[in-house]
Structure formats: C-alpha cells, structure tokens
Structure 1
C-alpha cells in the first residue's frame, strides 16, 4: 500500500535502532482542488533505523507498506519556514500546486457534515500551512495543538450544546405562543386529527397456515393496559348486581375492542390498507338556499307490500304561508302537521312575490296576513284543487322572527305518477345522515298520515331578538326523515319523463357530494384487501373478512372471502379484582361526519395561522366534496383523537361532563344513553397468542401493543410525554387513554413443535427487536404526536365553537356547543358577521373555508375569529 507516513525517532522500547512509522489515513474532509486528504492514523509500525539513513527525523515520507513491512521511502522536503509553521501538525492535505483554499465540502464517513462545520474549517485557513513537496506537489499541514479527531469531537459537543439551546428556545417560544393563544380565548383544538396516508401499499403473499415458515415464531405476549383516564365501557355492559351509580366490581373488557385499537396502530406503522373504510362512500351535504324551479310538492298515494311508496300526486302551484296563519285551526301549533290538506277561497287570498335571499334567486309567492280568512281545512279523499301543507325543519332560520317562518302549500293535481327507478333508494341514502336516524339504521316502514301512530317530530324555532331574550316557538310537526314514508305524507319531488325523482323533505335539503372515497385515495392499493394471495402487512397478520355477493344464479346470497389471522386475542381483558366503576350520563357522542370536507379532506395549500383554503363564493360552500376540487382533494389520512382530559371538577364544565342545556333523562329529545366508566388508575391484563409470524411482524406487533417503542425511532423528538393508546368508547371526550406494559413473552420456533430438536429462541433478545421503520417514514412524526399524552392542552380540546373560552359560563354553554355555527361561518360560502360601531353597515367579504392544522404543524390551535380587515 503506497501511502504517506509520519516518521519519528525511537520506538515503543525507545530502541534508537527502531523508528515509528505512523501511516496517514484519509480524512473525512475534502478541499476544492485537492485530490487527497490525510489524517494521522492510529496504526504504528516499528522498523529498523537503517531504512532512514541520511534522512532527518521526524518528518513526512512517502512509502510502500505491505504486511507491516516498509518498502521504498521518499522524504517530502519541506522548507524551514514551513517546518516551523508545521510544528505539532498531525494531518496533511495533499493537492495540486497553485490551488487556493476558498471553499470546502466536508464529509464524514456515512453522512455529510453540517455546513456550519465547513465554515469553522474555513476559519482555520491561516493555520493550513502550504509547503512544497517532491513531484511538484503542494502540501497543506493541519496546524494546532489538537488533532482533526479532537476538532471533530469538539464540533459535535458544540453542536449538541447549541441544539439543546435551540430546542429549549423553541420550547419557550412554543409555550409563550400557546399561552398567548389560550389567553385570547377564541382558540381551540379540534378533538381529532389525521396521520398522513402512505403513497401506496405494498401487498404480497402471506405466511399461510398450511406449514411453518423458516425462522417463524409462535408464542404469546402477556400485556397490561394501565388506564390514565377513565374508560367508557361497552353499551351492553351491566353491573353484576343492583346498587348505586358508584360501586366496586371486577371488570372484563372484550378482547375484540383491544384488538381493534392494536390493529389500527399496526396499520399505520406498516403502511397498510384502510381496512374499515367504505370505498363507495359519498357524502350528502345540506343544499344551499335556493328554489329548484322544476321541484314541486307531492303526496304519497300508493305503497308497495314492502312498505316503499310507488306513486305520488304532484302539485301545480306552490304558495308559502306564514305558519302563524294556520295555527288558529289547531288546539296547539304542534297540531299543524306536514301533509295537512287545506282549501283556499282564492277571492280572499292575498299573495305577493318575494325577492332574493343571500344572493340566491329564491323568488316565491307568499300569502300575506290579510289572506288568513281564505284558509279552511280539507277533509276526506284527496281532491284536485286541494292544497297540501308541508312543514320542514326550521333549524337554519334562527335569524328570522317567528312571524317570518313560512310553510309551503302545493295545489294538488288530479292524477298520480309513479316514482322513477332508483328514486326511492336515493332518498333513503340521503336520509342516512339525518338526526332522525340512529347509528345509520333507516326505518323499514312508516304508518300512514291518517294513522294515530304517524311518526312526527315537533319543529322548534329558536330566535334571539336584538337586546332581547332567546325565544322558542313550536312551528308545527314534520315527518321524521328516517328513510321511510307513509301514505298521505308530503314530500318534494322533481317530475321527470320516467316518473317522479329527487325526493326531498324540504325545498333545500341534501345533495350528493362528488367523487367517492375510492377516487380520493393517493393510490388504489390503499383500498381494503380482497385477494388472499396479495395482502398488505396488517391483513397478512390480522387477517381479513369480506362479505361479497355471489353469482346471479343465487340472488341475494353472499359468501365470505377471508384470510385467517395469525394473532389471537383473548375473549376478555380483565382486572385482577374489584375496581371502581360509576354510571354517568355523558354529553352527546357525535358520530363521525366525513362530509365535512374542510376537515376530512387534505388541503396542502392551507397555511397558518388561519389555515384557510379554497376560493370563497357566496352560497357555494367550498367545504363540500367536489367543490373547488382542482386538483382533487384527497382523504386527509387516518383519524386519531387527541389524548387529554380536564379534571372532572373543572369550572366551567369540562367537555366530558354533560351540560345543563342537554335534554335530561326521560326527555323525548334525549338520545344519549347512560354509560358505565371504569376509574383511571386501574389495569386490564390479557394474553395475546401469535403463530407462524416473522421477526419483523413480531417487532411491529410489539410496537403496536406498546407505542412507547416509537420513541426510539422518532428522530424529531416529537413526543414530549407518554405515548398512549385509546381503549373503549368516548374517545372524543378523552376517555380510555392507556399506557402498556409487556410483562412476559414466551416464544418458540414455529416449526419446533413438529421436530424433536427445535432451534432455541431467546425471548429476551426478541423483546429488544427494533421494527424496520425508515427514519423518514412520513407517518412517524404524526403518529408520535397523535399518541403523545400532552401534545395539545387538554383545556382547549373542544369541537369547533364560535364561543370564547375566557368568557364561557354555564348560561352560555348552549351557544358554545353549537359546532354547526363554526362550520357555517367558515364553509367558504357565508359573509362574515357585521362589524360594530361606525362600520356596522359596511359590506362584509365572504369568509374562506377554514381547515384543520396539519399534524406536523407546531400549533394545533384553530381560531374562530375573522381576520383583520384591510
């Protein structure tokens, strides 16, 4: 090996006949124009002094070194001045003559050095002595009392110290910003966030169950889940005996509930498919205020044996009547029911056209108060010329006084028309998101309008006049929008050549969003797995089940397409003995609303602090699926709820406690069942069995069970507190946060049970396995943040609100909980609220759509304030 060496007199034994030859090894530094960079090596070779006869020592030599034997030596001649400057030098940089050191590209083995280190090296330029060497070459000698290695270590120490200072500075700044946002009072943190999806999912053949794979693992893991907040138990949980609302008893939680939580984490960590989505889901949105000139009122006249309507009788004319003009015909306003028939004395009727609302053409004919005497109720069979009254929900008309609340009345035609093919199915699907539908279960049928069991809902109008108190008035009774209609019910329809279509319960009701889920994924590979021979990592471990329709020869029949799991969770996870449980009446547990495109769709162009996106257009919400969709907005990611829960005795009421304005037990409007909680501080344990899995699958399973293992992978140091998982119900309210301890693992070679001599498996070694996660995995920092116990302040986790936390009191809770007000204000379709003072009459611009902060944003706060006017 030809190299340059530093040769000194004397050797380890200080034998003057022996000299030390210390080869110079390549430095992790490159200088522009220099072809070789050298640093004094650690290997010392002792040779006979006769090799150096006639050469002055110490000095730098070129030599051939092979098997610790020194070959030809050539001294590098240095000038006395250079020797003087080079005293103590311990590194050489060798390059071409005439090169000026103006810049450096520093490199360290395996990774680049920071630019700041290059700058430090350039600052040493006066100490890089240029000398002449044989062969018309030029040398640069590293001058100074420290070696390059010492300088390198010093840089590392300085950088580490500076990094801690910067980190602490950022933490202080973040705390200050958070304190300022909390002080403002108009900022909140939405209860959920989204972890980004992978660009694609790699699917491959699973291990199979027919035979043990080479190196496969079989065994079990004993896991303990330690509750950090109370856990909401299942709907069907029943205490063992009668007693009060607080008691002690042993608790058993279904293993399937724990399995679901673990699998959801495993899917993220392994970049697997979205196993629980409905690829064909397409949301239904509330339509903007407008009058469809093709739509008309109709009455259901004929029913099929299965309870579905087949024919309707349409109307030829529609008049809007103030509800108060009809109330005098009934014992109470609730007696005015949707579907009621009336007659007009048209010689007495006084009708006027009404203009525009919110910039939309909504011209309609309204009956004036002077025409009240023209109304009489109609009895008997449907007759041409009778009018049918339709009562719809008044929830969006709170700005109008009760005297300006109208109901529609349509003049009946003489003949019936059939429903168009698909019209009924379309209506039922649009009903699915109605507040009258519980857990997505549509009604299978409905009694006729004339039946005493007719399904109606009182319509309450709430209005607060300026400077006055909130007023509540009953307008009438509407038909439940639960997916069923009965004979005599009124409904809006659009007549078409093939029959009536476009069934609606109000003139402006619900419209379909554009593009279903499967068209809004980054790649089709994220769709749920259906091929047992090509599975994503999660389905290859946990299995999958798909119910699919069979051939036309067996209509209505389904068959299972499935792959069995390699992981088996116990029937129950249990407490060791009696623990504290209590019954509560929780606030409403809201079902997910994927139709909220401002939150459930990704908006990469939105930037802090307001996180606004889209182009605002009056009356056209950009939050709808399909609005402003160039390019197509993708699904935001996998949904996770933030950890954090305020103390139960917080003032005002924390979000997990029921507020006074919610309907009390026994109230017909109360749809929230009481639930049992298991107290925080308790532990659930269970044994998870696995069979015939790989080491990588085992490592990911450990990490999905105990997400605290993510800390070792998080190079951004996102986690500031414990990493926790969610168990049980009530996640939006902060229930079920838990940490995990893996108490015991027993593992054997999967094939060992079938052999006399099994390969030994070290369980303790396996517990130290690291999951093969790339350091730049796009999901890693987001998931760590989502699972961190104090990633966001617990006292600001709340569904979107237009209220102010600092002025919130018990008598303001109802308005504070009206999340729809936030979505309405920031859907990208409404004008801002009017200004106060001198600018009250000034025109207000339309507010842009406001979106969720991306999970990688330092602050997850959202504000309900409008931006400052220019």
Structure 2
C-alpha cells in the first residue's frame, strides 16, 4: 500500500469513487466514422486475444451457472465431465467496455440523461394555494383529464374519530367519504378535529390517507398539557359540485414523476417488475409504535388513478383547472432543481447517436441509439455492430463453489449530492441559508451557485487483493449467514444470495476482433489488462511493484470480483496476410499500447495518472475501511468486528446534507434547530479516500433477537 492511501485515518472509505469525464472539448476526429464491416481496411488488423483472469478476491457468479432448482447447470462447458462455474462472455464484455470508456474517454453509453432526483420535503406546512382534489378521469398514462377540487381549507381528523365513523381501520382508506359536524380548531396553523361525535360516515368530504412513518416522536399539546405520543391525522376536504377539465403541463407532470421515482413504493415495485400498475395498489398504514392498522393508502406510482385524492396547487377558470403542482401528501417530495442529468455532464460525453460519428469506445464495442427518432417521430434503427466478440471465461479447474448470503445493496442514488456531484470547496462544512432553502446536497440548491454542478464522472469500485481484510469477509468469516440471520430480518426483500469461487481461481477467455487499428487494439488490450497502461504511473513507494486489475461479476461493493489479467495475442492478420498469404504483421502488445497512448489527450493522460492509477490499483484504499457509511467504527485488521457496525448509518446521510432541522413555533413560524454541515466524497485524486464516519443514532434496522 502506498503512502498517503489513508493509513491511520479514522472513519471509512466509500466502496465506490468516480473517475472524471474529460471536460475539454475533444480534438477533431475524436468522433469519426468507424472502419465498417465490409472489408478489412488497410492499416487495420483482425485476430484473437486470449485473456487469463486470476481472481484476487472471491468471484461472485450470481444466477449465472446454477439452475432455477439450485443445482448445476444451465449448460455444460466443453472439456469438463460435469458442470462448472464460468463467467459469461457478455458479462466480461460489459466490464471491459466500461473500463475502456474510462481509459479512452469514451461516451457515457449507459446513462439516463433524463434523470432528475426527487427529495423528501422538509417538515414545513404547505404554502398557501394548495388544496385537496380528486381525480375523476385520467388518460392511459395516468395524467389527470378531469378533477373535482376541494375549495375550502382541509380539516385534519384524528384516525380514532375516523375509525368510529367508518367501521374501523379497514374502512379508513384514501377516497373514503365522511361528514363533519364541526370545523375544528386551529392547531399549529391548520384546522384539526378530534371529537369522534362530530364525524359521520358518508357525505361530500373525501379523506386522504398517507404514510405514518413521519409520526414517530412526541410533542406537547398547544395548551401546554401532557405530551402526546404517536397520534395520526388524515386530511379531509369537501368536494365542490363542479367536475372540471384538468390541464397538467408537461413540465408539471415530469416534475411529479421525478419526485415519485425515488419513493420507497417505487423501489418495491422495481423489485417486482411483473406487478401490474394499471390499477391502484393498496398499502396498509400501520402505527409506527405498536404496528396496529390505521388505514389504507394508494401506493405512489408514475401515474394517478380515478378517484385518487391528491394535493394540488392550481388555478381555475372557464370550467378548467390548470394544475401547477401535484403532491401525494402534505409533506411530500420535490424534484431537484430544473436541470436533468444530461445538463450535468459535458455535452460531448453524451451517448453516441449517429452511427457515422462514433467515439473511440463505440467504434470498437458498438453503439445503439435507444432514443433516436426519425423525421415523423418514429423510432429508427441507428445502431452499429461492434468489432469484438467475447467468449465465455472458462475455469482452469472445477473450483469449489460457496453459497454467499449478501446484505442489501440498493440501486444507485445519484440524488445524494454529497457523493455524486462535483466537489465544491466553498460549500464544504457549510449549510444552506434561509428558512425554506433546500440542503446543499440537493440538485438545484444553493450549492449549484452560479452554475450547475456537474456529476462526478464514471463510478468505479475500489479493488482489493487482500479480501480477508474487507469488512464483509471479516464479519461473515465465522458465520456466512450472519447478515441474513443476525443483522437483518430474514424477511428483508433486499437480502439476496449468490455463489462464489475462491480467490486464486483462474479463468481464460478468447476475444476475437476485426478491423481495429493499432491504436484501437492497444486500447482494447489496456482495458483487458490495465497494468499495461498504468504501471508507468506507479509511485514506487517502499519499493513495491503495484498490481492493477479490474472488477467482474457481482458483489463488487463488498469486495468480490477483483481480478488481475494477462493478455496474449494468439492470432493477428492484416489484409495481405489474411487473403494473400503474406507474412503475419509484426505488431506486439507494447507497440499497440504505445500507439494507443499517442492518441490520448493531455487531459486524458492526467486522468490516468491522478485517478485511474489509484482506482485500479489493488489495495490502494485501505481494505479494512472500505464500506458504505457504517453504523459504528470499523476496527483495524486483527481486531473483532461486530457485524452490527456494518448496518447502514441513516444518520450519516442526514447529518452531511448541508441543511438544518426546523421546528414549528406554537405562535407560528419556524425555528432553526441543528445544522448538518455539508460533507463531500473525496476525489479519486485526493491523497486519502477516507471520510469521517457519523455513527447511527436512530432508526436502526431491527435485529433478530432484540
């Protein structure tokens, strides 16, 4: 391990970092017409490369070689009497292409340019102008066509009173009808009704049932009486007689969809892709303290349903309602600013769309324009087939397979600006100014300043050559099922299983290529074996010869999948040798790599030296510290590691936002509470990748046996 790699630093090292996308405009010819497939072009080569992969940490081959019944195989490999694990060529191709894009500065091939994050609102009341409304009709996409508004302010009714009027908790659901015999009294700037005698079932007033998890704490009665624990209120609104046509502009609808995308309801839906969302999904709302049923709500979806009750900010006239904003709860979500992800990366880095003008990576690996539209708005085929074909990586022996129990690993969260947005030294350690100012971590906050902050770049996972020091392997060494049985509930839907082969396993694959220039071939070889490119940038500390690798397979955040590689060109032809029988061209690996180096810009070479030479170096990041923001301290190697320390620290994400907490004053207004200074992920070029840990203080996931 090199000096300055974080030795002695307290805290943790996030499992992933980012390699910068070149900022400068590429030189002429960076995007150009590919060689084509019709003939072997002069100065280009075809042939076969064999790559040998040595696993430096266990290799996770989840759902690849085991059949649905849990036994081998899905298919047999030639040369083996029985089934054996293997790395599919498609998986290897994806890993190599991703690395080639970082090395060659290729386009962002797998990138959702329309992404914009949604954030939970701060606990402030709705500003004036918001009212309840019911969707009377929606189009096929769930966008409202007709609505009925509730013109008067909402009255909040306690669940116990609603249960009495509606026949119990089973009858309390979004859209239920009630009649109120009183208007309630004003409590903290809202009308609130608590007397069950004043609530009747049926009538023109609709009920909105929302999630109860924000109602965890206690508060004091406005009259100074005893502290009340866990009471739950629902908003109710009296529907007007008029059914109005609804106009929801595109930008309003897109903002609503962006806010919905990051909800827990949508996360659960993505885990069950076969679930039908054409009809409402009803979700039980339970008391966060005793778990008793309170009512039923409609799960958040990328659409609205007939008879669904929502909050809207709208204007009316001529029998029409012009919707300016939509929310599913009084404390709901909002989209992060106005800029989509494509506005946060250099324009030249967006995915190639013209098959006649391709970046270095697309010219080799191929391109598919999934957004291309013809002159009449119809989709067109604008793809280009690549010049490389990857065979399966087959094992050198019938390696022992081990079943692994894996902790939850959720989808990427680009809205977490602490990690995904470019570092801003002026914002480090600061908080947002203003009562309603969003935290600095949010897209579109004060942190963007005069210009939109860019996304950090391409995600890369730290590699390890000493897997026994990684927290996951330390915690599960004596009990492989510790995360499943002891740390998380066995019913946790994000728990998963996989199969691994041990460190030291060797796999070999053949890569066929055609019509590649010497520089193109050199770039391909560097992506297959990064040491060919990066060993010249070693700092030479302590006389070490550093090792470089890449990551393949699953479980990379936990330390699986680090491999080192060796490439051998076993066949090489140009047009003359292939078709005329002339001598095979003399192009060695080093010559091809040198040709690739000569094509790189100064900025790209700087990225190799300052970032990739660290990110792809085994154990540059201290392996015992590599974990997501942990719930507790991570001890040094050789000391016991309590698996509960590896629970996620939700407190970390709260206390590094660059925002503050707010409490409502009894006489109106809001009082600023604790501040949470903005903490940012170190750059891949930083002397140390370590961050300060923020131990978990509340909302720990329940552990079995507690």
- TM-score surpassing 0.5? yes
Partner Cα separation in structure 2 for residue 736 and residue 742 of structure 1: 18
1:257 to 91, 111, 115: 91
2:615 to 782, 786, 795: 786
2:283 to 453, 457, 461: 457
Residue equivalent to 2:309: 490
- 1:672-683 alignment to 2 at 5 Å? 672-683=495-506
Query: What's the CA shift for 1:495?
Result: 2.4
Residue equivalent to 1:419: 246
Residue equivalent to 2:389: 568
- 1:225-236 alignment to 2 at 5 Å? 225-235=53-63
Are 2:179 and 1:343 aligned? yes
Q: Cα deviation per residue 1:709-732 (whole Å; 9 max; x = unaligned)?
A: 233331545997432211122222
Partner Cα separation in structure 1 for residue 372 and residue 137 of structure 2: 31
Are 2:19 and 1:195 aligned? yes
Query: What's the CA shift for 1:546?
Result: 0.7
Match of 2:406, SS state, is coil
Match of 2:606, SS state, is coil
Are 2:399 and 1:579 aligned? yes
CA shift in 2, pair 1:832/1:535, >3 Å: same
Query: What's the CA shift for 1:235?
Result: 4.5
Q: Cα deviation per residue 1:561-605 (whole Å; 9 max; x = unaligned)?
A: 1222121212x3222453333444422221111111221110242
Query: What's the CA shift for 1:680?
Result: 3.4
> Does the aligned pair in 2 maintain the 1:213–1:751 contact within 8 Å?
no
> Does the aligned pair in 1 maintain the 2:572–2:585 contact within 8 Å?
no
CA shift in 2, pair 1:457/1:721, >3 Å: farther
> Does the aligned pair in 2 maintain the 1:284–1:512 contact within 8 Å?
yes
Query: What's the CA shift for 1:760?
Result: 3.4
Residue equivalent to 1:409: 236
> Does the aligned pair in 1 maintain the 2:404–2:481 contact within 8 Å?
no
Q: How many residues align?
A: 638
TM-score by length of 1: 0.66
2:440 to 598, 610, 622: 622
2:554 to 729, 746, 761: 729
CA shift in 2, pair 1:752/1:238, >3 Å: same
1:301 to 120, 124, 136: 136
Query: What's the CA shift for 1:698?
Result: 1.4
Query: What's the CA shift for 1:306?
Result: 6.8
CA shift in 2, pair 1:319/1:794, >3 Å: farther
> Does the aligned pair in 1 maintain the 2:217–2:230 contact within 8 Å?
no
Bigger shift: 735-744 or 544-553?
544-553
Partner Cα separation in structure 2 for residue 848 and residue 394 of structure 1: 28
Structure 1: where are the runs of 5+ without partners?
1-167, 355-362, 448-453, 464-470, 834-841
Match of 1:687, SS state, is strand
Partner Cα separation in structure 2 for residue 655 and residue 850 of structure 1: 34
Residue equivalent to 2:225: none
Match of 2:370, SS state, is strand
Residue equivalent to 1:114: none
Residue equivalent to 1:451: none
Are 2:411 and 1:591 aligned? yes
Are 2:121 and 1:287 aligned? yes
Are 2:421 and 1:601 aligned? yes
- 1:265-280 alignment to 2 at 5 Å? 265-280=99-114
Q: Cα deviation per residue 1:473-498 (whole Å; 9 max; x = unaligned)?
A: 65433211132443332222222345
Are 2:682 and 1:853 aligned? yes
Are 2:364 and 1:364 aligned? no
Partner Cα separation in structure 2 for residue 805 and residue 756 of structure 1: 63
Q: Cα deviation per residue 1:662-687 (whole Å; 9 max; x = unaligned)?
A: 7655x4x6254543334433233211
Are 2:155 and 1:319 aligned? yes
Query: What's the CA shift for 1:626?
Result: 1.4
Query: What's the CA shift for 1:518?
Result: 2.6
> Does the aligned pair in 2 maintain the 1:459–1:478 contact within 8 Å?
yes
CA shift in 2, pair 1:508/1:562, >3 Å: same
Residue equivalent to 1:690: 513
> Does the aligned pair in 2 maintain the 1:216–1:751 contact within 8 Å?
no
Query: What's the CA shift for 1:325?
Result: 4.1
> Does the aligned pair in 2 maintain the 1:491–1:503 contact within 8 Å?
yes
Are 2:682 and 1:863 aligned? no
Query: What's the CA shift for 1:302?
Result: 2.7
CA shift in 2, pair 1:559/1:712, >3 Å: same
2:358 to 530, 535, 558: 535
> Does the aligned pair in 2 maintain the 1:442–1:483 contact within 8 Å?
no
Question: Which protein has greater RCO, CA pairs closer than 8 Å, 6+ apart?
Answer: 2
Residue equivalent to 1:761: 586
CA shift in 2, pair 1:442/1:304, >3 Å: farther
Partner Cα separation in structure 2 for residue 529 and residue 251 of structure 1: 35
Query: What's the CA shift for 1:351?
Result: 1.9
> Does the aligned pair in 2 maintain the 1:715–1:775 contact within 8 Å?
no
Q: Cα deviation per residue 1:336-366 (whole Å; 9 max; x = unaligned)?
A: 33333222221xx642231xxxxxxxx3222
Match of 1:312, SS state, is strand
CA shift in 2, pair 1:762/1:621, >3 Å: closer
CA shift in 2, pair 1:686/1:326, >3 Å: same
Residue equivalent to 2:37: 209
Partner Cα separation in structure 1 for residue 472 and residue 643 of structure 2: 19
Query: What's the CA shift for 1:442?
Result: 10
Query: What's the CA shift for 1:855?
Result: 1.3
Residue equivalent to 2:668: none
Query: What's the CA shift for 1:705?
Result: 0.3
Structure 2: where are the runs of 5+ without partners?
74-81, 219-227, 664-670, 696-706
CA shift in 2, pair 1:696/1:809, >3 Å: closer
> Does the aligned pair in 2 maintain the 1:606–1:851 contact within 8 Å?
no
TM-score by length of 2: 0.80
Match of 1:419, SS state, is strand
Query: What's the CA shift for 1:634?
Result: 1.3
> Does the aligned pair in 1 maintain the 2:59–2:502 contact within 8 Å?
yes
Q: Which has the higher strand share?
A: 1
Partner Cα separation in structure 1 for residue 494 and residue 168 of structure 2: 25
RMSD: 3.7
- 1:69-218 alignment to 2 at 5 Å? 171=3, 174=4, 178-179=7-8, 181-182=9-10, 187-199=11-23, 200-201=25-26, 202-218=30-46
1:612 to 429, 453, 459: 429
Partner Cα separation in structure 1 for residue 166 and residue 422 of structure 2: 51
Query: What's the CA shift for 1:691?
Result: 0.9
> Does the aligned pair in 1 maintain the 2:655–2:676 contact within 8 Å?
yes
Partner Cα separation in structure 2 for residue 292 and residue 271 of structure 1: 46
> Does the aligned pair in 2 maintain the 1:616–1:847 contact within 8 Å?
no
Partner Cα separation in structure 2 for residue 743 and residue 788 of structure 1: 21
1:499 to 302, 313, 321: 321
> Does the aligned pair in 2 maintain the 1:283–1:595 contact within 8 Å?
yes
Query: What's the CA shift for 1:830?
Result: 1.5
> Does the aligned pair in 2 maintain the 1:616–1:828 contact within 8 Å?
no
> Does the aligned pair in 2 maintain the 1:706–1:741 contact within 8 Å?
yes
